[in-house]
């Protein structure tokens, strides 16, 4: 009887201790599980930039593909060199070549023409136009014609510059600059003949004419 009474007394004394321990365990929260890092059910986790995302959040490392819902660096579609403008350049062309009046005077026309020759008593006008997208600096214009003695004679003039869209008139005086020439022979007129102007088209700088 004494042993049974002692066991019964021990059980009675132990019950408050177990109850206290159970209540203590219910209220215990580990130190690592703070409010800031415990996800609350029903709320989306918040990333460092303050935006909320749905689903699991993962950051793709080098060489890996981001999973669904991963934060990715936005693609850059523009930039400083996205559109490159072409360089603006002038373009000089010869639009017309011809004498201001009659190419040969009445006094010498019949004699010279019988010999197949001509003599400009009127200035020869060369019209140059800048059809490019920029102004042109100083350039030269020359005229090469078949001289009556058999060689090609070349005379030239300089132009101080020409704005885009504008025309210039270069005059070669008869007798003094253009002497007696052979009729129906090709005369070559060139603009920027030494290549001082950087043009958008370097293949349209000359024109062929025939003086009769």
* pLDDT tens for each residue of 126-166: 999 999 999 999 999 999 999 999 999 999 999 999 999 99
- pLDDT 10s digits, 3-52: 555 555 555 445 555 554 455 445 544 544 444 444 444 444 444 444 44
Residue 99 or residue 135, greater confidence: 135
Q: What confidence score (pLDDT) does residue 108 get?
A: 60
Backbone angles phi, psi at 153, to 5 degrees: -100, 135
The confidence score (pLDDT) of residue 81 equals 36
113 within some domain: yes
Residue 143 within any structural domain of the chain:
yes
Q: Is residue 159 part of a domain?
A: yes
Residue 190 has pLDDT above 90, yes or no: yes
174-182 mean pLDDT: 84
Q: Is residue 53 part of a domain?
A: no
Residue 2: pLDDT band with limits 50, 70, 90 = low
What's the pLDDT score for residue 204? 95
Band of residue 197 on the pLDDT scale cut at 50, 70, 90: very high
d(CA 176, CA 123): 10
More confident residue, 79 or 197: 197
Higher per-residue confidence, 131 vs 67: 131
Q: Are strands 92-99 and 152-159 parallel, antiparallel or unpaired?
A: unpaired
Most confident of 30-34, 101-105, 112-116, 162-166: 162-166
Instruction: Count structural domains, the chain.
Output: 1
pLDDT score of 72 more than 90: no
**Residue 70, in any domain of the structure:** no
Q: From CA 136, how far away is CA 158, in angstroms rounded? A: 13
Query: What is each CA distance from 9 to 1, 5, 118, 150, in whole angstroms?
Result: 12, 6, 150, 148
Q: Identify the domain containing residue 202 by its residue range.
A: 92-210
Is the Cβ–Cβ distance between 170 and 126 less than 8 Å?
yes
Given pLDDT bands bounded at 50, 70 and 90, which one contains residue 107? low
What is the model's pLDDT at position 212? 74
Is residue 139 assigned to a domain?
Answer: yes
pLDDT of residue 40: 47
| Residue 101 falls inside a structural domain | yes
Residue 92: CB atoms within 10 A of its CB come to 24
* Residue 185 in domain: yes
Beta-bridge mates of residue 143:
155, 189
* CATH value at residue 116: 2.60.40.10
Residue 15, token pair as written in the block: 């019950």
């Amino acid at each position: 009887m004494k042993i049974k009474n002692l066991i019964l007394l021990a059980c009675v004394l132990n019950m408050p201790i177990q109850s206290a321990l159970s209540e203590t365990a219910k209220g215990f929260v580990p130190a690592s599980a703070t409010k800031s890092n415990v996800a609350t059910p029903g709320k989306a986790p918040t990333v460092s930039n303050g935006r909320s995302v749905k689903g699991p959040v993962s950051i793709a490392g080098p060489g890996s593909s981001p999973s669904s819902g991963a934060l990715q660096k936005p693609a850059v579609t523009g930039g400083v060199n996205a559109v490159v403008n072409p360089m603006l350049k002038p373009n000089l062309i010869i639009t017309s070549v011809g004498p201001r009046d009659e190419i040969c005077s009445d006094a010498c026309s019949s004699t010279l023409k019988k010999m197949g020759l001509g003599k400009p008593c009127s200035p020869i006008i060369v019209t140059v136009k800048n059809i490019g997208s920029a102004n042109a600096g100083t350039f030269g214009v020359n005229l090469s014609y078949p001289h009556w003695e058999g060689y090609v004679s070349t005379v030239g003039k300089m132009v101080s510059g020409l704005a885009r869209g504008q025309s210039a008139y270069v005059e070669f005086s008869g007798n003094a600059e253009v002497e007696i020439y052979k009729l129906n022979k090709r005369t070559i007129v060139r603009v920027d003949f030494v290549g001082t102007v950087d043009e958008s088209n370097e293949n349209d700088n000359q024109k062929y004419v025939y003086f009769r």
